[in-house]
Homo-oligomer: A and B are copies of this chain.
Amino acid sequence: MEQQEIFVKMALHAWNVQVGRVDKFLSDLSHDDYFKEIAPGKNRIIYLLGHLTAINDNMIVLFALGNRSFAQLDEAFVKKPDKSGEELPSPDIVKNHWVKSNAELTSYFNKMPYSDWFTKHTIMSDEDFVKEPTRNKLSVLLNRTNHIAYRLGQMVLIKS
């Protein structure tokens, strides 16, 4: 296996592990569970799931892969905190978006040549990238993977 291929596969594996853990967590949630707070006064499950979906969906733009599919989630799940009064979609819809977004991202990721992961993302200048070649698309994926782990650590707290 080429070096680039090994590293991309490692990073995608780590990504898929975290997504899979969220899927498993969701698999036995009831409708009411989505409205439970992870701790008293803190975010609810529905908010964290919509938040993750919106943040991950944005990689499509960061990696110049196409147009975002779930930009409509930004208003309620990124720009505003939970319980802002903003109307949220139902748990079924948010879960459906999460699943669809991951399928879409996986499809995009699988089509990316390995070398493309080591190129700069769209919000970085050419000059900065020359100085810091480690700030590439794959580093964004590593960061988003940690973000899922961070939020999953919170979501699991509603289970006894």
Contact = CB atoms under 8 A, between A and B. Distances in A.
Given A1-B133, A4-B3, A157 B14 contact: no
Contacts of A143: 14, 17
B154 A13 contact: no
Contacts of A38: 39, 157
A64 interface: no
Interface residues of A, number: 36
A150 B154 CA distance: 8
7 contacts: A1-B133, A3-B7, A10-B138, A13-B134, A18-B146, A39-B157, A154-B154
The winner among A4, A14, A40 for most chain B CB atoms within 10 A is A14
Interface of A: 1, 3-4, 6-7, 9-11, 13-14, 17-18, 38-42, 118, 133-134, 136, 138-139, 142-143, 145-147, 149-154, 157, 160
The winner among A18, A150, A153 for most chain B CB atoms within 10 A is A153
Contacts of A154: 153-154, 157
A40 to B, nearest CB: 7
